[in-house]
């Protein structure tokens, strides 16, 4: 049976909630689950939940004495920032789960099988949660997590960037989750045929939409954002619509899609700073100038996970962005490129000293080094 939209007034104990579709509050469903009691329904209502998506096939007869049943969907409205080291294992689990689900998703499309949106919503919520605790950790992990499958890496990287970007814009949690889902699914049609991997992005959009049309109860706005993400503000893109017709979510997806392709270790040698400059040249005719400026501020001029060369010749891994001083992030030094030897790893906040500044972004592989060894 297809997923069903249910108002909070009609939600019954025993329902399996997949996603919050509309709310007036600021909560995120961390994972899908059963609402087992009237008290759980009332809690969701008090938190501002108005409409949810349920899976009727998983409806249970409520029995509060059965402790083996899964718990109600977990919600969270916390905005406190976790310490970098504390968030690392949580972000790593979220990223690994996303990789697993996205790999399954792409395989399902390649074999013309159905897509389980429940899993997609769960990992989207997981990415949003990690970003809300400390976005620098997930950005760093994603940057260094190279995949052999370019389509897999591109979709996951776009989802991570979207999670950070949507939260930076202070969008409602349910909108953040929908945008992350759109980022995960925007190139899904490329899995239909290898030919799409070498084609222009817009050529795969019909295949993506056709694939998504087979999926029950995918929010219409997600398909709309995907359908427009290759459109240009001046009308020169595909489809040939202009600024007034292009949704904000589509504009965000266009920026993220372009940035990831320019900076991907698998397909480009362009550093983050050079990529940002190139994208700025595409405004205002192709990309939204204001949104692009906000995206760059969100992830930083030197995003977490980037490797930079300092003025002294030392190499360092960028750990945390500094929104107030974007040229001076927190880094970990580990190698001296002039003397060509390792140095004791040390975390350095560039904004709190005068000796070191960033000279450039570098490709660590040209030194015969693997960034994973310096985490």
pLDDT for 125? 92
Among the residues of the chain, which ranges form H helices?
38-46, 84-110, 117-144, 150-168, 173-185, 195-198, 205-213, 220-228, 248-263, 272-280, 289-299
Domain boundaries, the chain: 4-76, 84-299, 307-374
Q: Which whole-number Å values give the CA distances from 332 to 81, 85, 90, 346, 367, in the listed order? A: 20, 13, 21, 5, 17
Q: Which positions ≥6 away from 185 have C-beta within 8 Å? A: 120, 155, 208, 212, 222, 226
Peptide bond into 239 cis (omega under 30): yes
346-358: buried (b, 16+ CB within 10 Å) or exposed (e) per residue?
A: eebebeeeeebeb
Full 3-state SS string of 193-212: CCHHHHCCHHHHHHHHHHHH
Q: Give the pLDDT confidence score for residue 68 in this predicted structure.
A: 34
Q: Containing H/E element for 331?
A: strand 330-336
Handedness of CA 21, 24, 30, 34 (dihedral sign): negative
For residue 223, what are its two tokens?
């398909």
pLDDT for position 28: 62
The pair of three-digit structure tokens given for residue 24, joined into one six-digit string: 């007036």
For position 80, what pLDDT does the model report? 67
pLDDT at 81: 85
Instruction: Identify the segments of the chain with pLDDT beneath 50.
Output: 62-72, 74-79
Assigned superfamily of 84-299: Hypothetical protein af1432 (1.10.3210.10)
| Per-residue model confidence (pLDDT) at position 217 | 66
pLDDT at 26: 62
- Partnered with residue 347 across adjacent β-strands are 332
Give the 3-state secondary structure of 82-135: CCHHHHHHHHHHHHHHHHHHHHHHHHHHHCCCCCCHHHHHHHHHHHHHHHHHHH
Interacting residues of 143 by C-beta distance below 8 A, sequence separation 6+: 303, 304, 305, 306
Side-chain half-sphere CA neighbours of 31 within 13 A: 11
Q: What are the structure tokens assigned to 58, written together? A: 């998983």
The pTM score is 0.80
Burial class (CB within 10 angstroms; exposed 0-12, middle 13-18, buried 19+) of 182 = buried
């Amino acid at each position: 049976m297809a997923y069903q939209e249910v108002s909070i007034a009609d939600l019954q104990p025993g329902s399996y909630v997949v996603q919050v579709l509309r709310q007036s509050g600021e909560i995120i469903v961390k994972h899908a689950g059963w609402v087992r009691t009237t008290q759980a329904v009332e809690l969701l209502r008090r938190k501002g939940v108005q409409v949810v998506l349920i899976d009727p096939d998983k409806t249970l007869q409520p029995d509060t004495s059965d402790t083996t049943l899964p718990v109600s969907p977990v919600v969270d409205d916390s905005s406190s920032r976790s310490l970098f080291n504390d968030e690392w294992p949580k972000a790593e689990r979220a990223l690994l789960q996303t990789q697993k689900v996205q790999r399954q998703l792409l395989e399902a499309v390649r074999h013309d099988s159905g897509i389980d949106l429940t899993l997609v919503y769960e990992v989207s919520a997981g990415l949003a949660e990690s970003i809300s605790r400390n976005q620098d950790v997930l950005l760093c992990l994603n940057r260094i997590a190279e995949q052999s499958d370019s389509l897999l890496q591109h979709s996951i990287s776009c989802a991570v960037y979207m999670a950070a970007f949507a939260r930076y814009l202070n969008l409602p949690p349910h909108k953040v989750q929908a945008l992350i889902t759109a980022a995960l699914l925007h190139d899904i049609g490329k899995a239909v045929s290898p030919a799409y991997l070498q084609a222009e992005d817009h050529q795969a959009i019909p295949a993506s939409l056709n694939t998504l049309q087979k999926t029950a109860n995918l929010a219409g706005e997600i398909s709309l954002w995907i359908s427009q993400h290759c459109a240009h503000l001046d009308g020169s893109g595909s489809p040939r619509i202009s600024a007034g017709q292009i949704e904000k979510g589509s504009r965000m997806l266009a920026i993220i899609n372009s940035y990831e392709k320019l900076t991907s270790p698998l397909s480009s040698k362009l550093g983050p700073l050079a990529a940002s400059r190139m994208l700025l040249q595409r405004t205002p005719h192709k990309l939204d100038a204001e949104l692009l400026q906000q995206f760059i501020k969100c992830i930083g001029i030197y995003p977490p996970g980037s490797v930079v060369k300092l003025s002294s010749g030392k190499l360092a891994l960028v750990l945390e962005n500094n929104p107030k001083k974007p040229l001076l992030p927190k880094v970990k030094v580990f190698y001296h490129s002039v003397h060509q030897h390792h140095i004791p790893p040390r975390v350095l906040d560039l904004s709190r000293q005068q000796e070191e500044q960033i000279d450039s972004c570098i490709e660590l592989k040209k030194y015969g080094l693997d960034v994973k060894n310096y985490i």
